Amino acid sequence: MIENTISKLLVDCVKSLYDSELPSNLAQVQKTRPDFEGDYTVVVFPLLRISKKNPEQTANEIGEFLQNSSEYISGFNVVKGFLNLSISDSYWLNFFNDNWLKDKFGKVDIKDEQALVIEYSSPNTNKPLHLGHIRNNLLGWSVAEINKAAGKNVKKVNLVNDRGIHICKSMLAWQKYGEERKPNDIGIKGDKFVGDYYVKFDQEYKKEIANLIESGSDKEDAEKNAPILLEAKQMLKKWEEGDTEVRELWQEMNQWVYDGFDISYKRMGIDFDKVYYESDTYLLGKSLVEEGLEKGVLFKKEDGSVWCDLSDEGLDQKLLLRADGTSVYMTQDLGTAQLRYDDYNPTDLVYVVGNEQIYHFDVLKKVLKKLGRSWADAIHHLSYGMVELPHGKMKSREGTVVDADDLMDAMYDTAKTTSEELAKFDDFTEEESDKLYNILSLGALKYFILKVDPKKTMMFNPEESIDFTGNTGPFIQYTHARIKSVLRKAKEAKINYNLNFDNHQLEDKEKSLIKLLSDYPIIIQHAAENYSPAVIANYAYELAKEYNQFYHALPMLKEENETKRSLRLAISEFTANTIKSAFELLGIDVPERM
């Protein structure tokens, strides 16, 4: 890319003019601000201690050297301490000729042998996927695909939390109130079916607490000693002891949930290279706890519970095994981390988990280090903010969550209603309309969520997301469809634009769009390094916006000059292909026609 070329020339320049080595952190090149003439800017203030001259003199000397050293630097101007360089049309045309027909423009082949492991989804088998899971899944999948495009050997993994007290709560509620009904009996997805019993448990638990308080217990004792909670704890103990009846029920109910998850994952376009299960990893975690006791880095309290003292790390004591011998989340995460390291020997272990778990992953790394696992430093917690709705936060146990399936259904309905109100697709068949509403609704949902920096809490508004104007998925999808329409008309008119474009003076809008297209490889690398699909999403928006200005400013099919017409059609195809490529990294389809 031209920025790298300029940076290298700048190093040579300082050596030649001032007989000094320029540190790489000072060889900085940035895009010129729109309100100034030029393409790239060198800030010369940091170089004054080397040149021993004033800013204007230094900038002019460097500008003359760079212009004389490169055929692609066609001119320069100096504004105070800023050296603005103009890049020749020949450079942009050479770039365009070399890249506009490349199938994988911007992406590189996998070059790393060691794996980059990215965990996302991590659902519990006591409830269906909800809006929070949607952000997790979309973010994790997209981060994985972006890193693949950047040349990483990515392994996408899922950890299913398929055991524990929360699972036993839904199992117990089904035993008590399910009347042996099964999901198929009442035509409901298995994950939704089991989730309803998790809510039922909470309802009955609250009733028992109220009764105990009314009988004279204080609130804390009532919460600890409610009979239904004690039964659930006893069920968990039986599960860990391998009780046949409990295990059979657990397997059956979990399978109902897995079947439901699979439907939701397929609809979202989410997949994994490997799925881990907490029921398989918690025993390995227990063995690591035993190892820690033997090494003396963990300790056991009088009640038999096992802890790790992290006070020397600025934290507190952390429970690893309960007094009754049952494990906690940290136990299974120790085991899972060890298993993944053994499976992949990765460069990094990335966990896509909400920001409320920052402390948990800090503890995980510190415990592993105490256990002598030097690779603990490879653990990276990609924390993200919660998704909020206009009517407030979601709570699974109270049944106030927005199920992923329900949200996707609502998005489809919104896409259909909005399109019909705008009379956009009146000439589509029913089948074509259905397919397009699915593409638009999922595109709107995914884009609205992924365009936000992962670290930020976000408010999801379905109506805003489906808008055909502004920074939305449908706007970008519509831009792609517009380009494909132009290209179809060119084909019908038998216009051949598969040419090599040399010695052409670029219009400002042609040049601006080619410059933006040239950024795509850097954008992918930047998004991969920062684990941020938002970088890709907002680039796609800028590209669509720039194309629409290009489309309205310059004639294409009606352009009489053959070279200009062909170049503009070729730029259009390059833009459509780049939008499609960027959206593929976000898991979003683009329609050929709208």
Structure tokens at 84: 């603005």
Contact between 98 and 87 under an 8 Å Cβ cutoff? The reply is: no
- Angle (CA) 316-322-324 rounded to 5° is 160
**Inter-residue contact 482 to 451 (CB < 8 Å):** no
Instruction: Take residue 535 and report the two structure tokens written for it.
Output: 């970088």
Model confidence at 400, pLDDT cuts 50, 70, 90, reads low
Domain definitions of the chain by residue range: 2-87, 120-388, 405-585
Looking at the DSSP assignment, which residues form a beta bridge with residue 392?
389
Residue type, 589: D
- H helices within 302-426, ranges in order? 329-344, 358-370, 404-422
Note the pLDDT tens digit of each residue in 451-490.
999 999 888 888 888 888 899 999 999 999 999 999 999 9
Residue 37 scores a pLDDT above 90: yes
Strand partners, 350: 118, 380
Q: Please tell me the distance from the alpha carbon of residue 457 to that of residue 467, in angstroms, as a whole number.
A: 21
- Write out pLDDT tens, residues 309-320: 999 988 999 999
Are the C-beta atoms of 134 and 387 separated by less than 8 Å?
Answer: yes
The span from the CA of 162 to the CA of 260, in Å, is 14
Ramachandran area for residue 296 (φ above 0: left; ψ -120 to 50: alpha; else beta): left
- Model pLDDT, residue 588: 98
- Strands (E) across 242-331 are located at 274-277, 299-300, 306-309, 317-321
> What is each CA distance from 143 to 140, 372, 536, in whole angstroms?
5, 30, 10
| Whether residue 395 has pLDDT greater than 50 | no
pLDDT band, very low/low/confident/very high, at 81 (cuts 50, 70, 90) = confident
Task: Indicate the pLDDT class of residue 424, thresholds 50, 70 and 90.
Answer: low
Q: What 3-state class would DSSP assign to 495?
A: coil
- The DSSP output letter for 28 is -
Q: What is the CATH number of domain 2-87?
A: 3.30.1360.70
Question: CA-CA-CA-CA torsion for 531, 533, 156, 477, nearest 10 degrees?
Answer: -170
Rounded CA-CA distance 305/1 in Å is 58
* Unique residue bearing structure tokens 């090494």: 295
- What are the phi and psi torsion angles at 481 (to 5°)? -65, -35
Residue 326 has pLDDT above 90, yes or no: no
Is the model's pLDDT at 22 over the cut of 80? yes
Integer Cα distance of 212 and 566 in angstroms: 81
- Quote the mean pLDDT of the chain: 93
Query: What pLDDT shows up at residue 398?
Result: 45
Selection from 110, 115, 113 nearest residue 342 by Cα: 115
401: pLDDT confidence band, cut at 50, 70 and 90? low
Residue 440's pLDDT is what? 95
Rounded CA separation 247/249 (Å): 5
Q: Return the pLDDT at 245.
A: 97
Q: How many CB atoms lie within 10 A of CB 428?
A: 16
470 touches 545 (CB < 8 A): no
Q: Which tokens is 206 given? A: 């609250």
Closest CA to 380 of 353, 341, 344: 353
Q: Are 388 and 354 in contact (CB under 8 A)?
A: no
pLDDT of 378 > 90? The answer is: yes
Would you call 217 helix, strand, or coil by DSSP?
coil
pLDDT at 391: 60
pLDDT band at 183 (very low <50, low <70, confident <90, very high): very high
> 3-class DSSP state for residue 388?
strand
Q: Looking at residue 301, what DSSP letter applies? A: -
Instruction: With a cut of 70, say whether residue 394 has pLDDT above it.
Output: no
Query: Bridge-partner residues for 82, per DSSP?
Result: 43, 79
pLDDT value of residue 7: 92
- The number of residues in the chain equals 594
Could you tell me the two tokens for 374?
């030097």
Tens of pLDDT, residues 251-299? 999 999 999 999 999 999 999 999 999 998 888 999 999 999 999 999 9
> What one-character DSSP code corresponds to residue 21?
P
Domain covering 120-388 assigned CATH 3.40.50.620 in the classification: yes
Q: Which residues contact 113 (CB under 8 A, 6 or more apart)?
A: 153
**Could you tell me which residues come within 8 angstroms of residue 194 by beta carbon, excluding any fewer than 6 positions away?**
125, 126, 127, 170, 174, 253, 256, 257
Angle at CA of residue 277, ends 308 and 317, nearest 5°: 10
Closest CA to 551 of 497, 499, 480, 494: 480
pLDDT exceeds cutoff 80 at 392: no
Q: Where are the alpha helices (DSSP H) in 530-561?
A: 533-553
User: Which amino acid belongs to residue 342?
Assistant: D
d(CA 167, CA 20): 67
* Least-confidence region, from 54-63, 223-232, 237-246, 499-508: 499-508
Which DSSP state fits 385? P
How do residues 196-206 score in pLDDT, each as one tens digit?
999 999 999 99
Q: Compute the average pLDDT of residues 304-313.
A: 94
CA atoms within 13 A on the CB side of 238: 18
What architecture is the 405-585 domain classified under in CATH?
A: Orthogonal Bundle (1.10)
Task: Calculate ∠ Cα 378-382-387, nearest 5°.
Answer: 165
pLDDT tens-digit readout, 352-366? 999 999 999 999 999
Q: Rounded CA gap, 10 and 13, in Å?
A: 5
Task: Give the separation between CA 365 and CA 419, rounded to whole angstroms.
Answer: 50
pLDDT per residue over 565-587, tens digit each? 999 999 999 999 999 999 999 99
Average pLDDT of 153-165?
95
Q: How far apart are the first and last CA of the chain?
A: 35
pLDDT of residue 198: 95
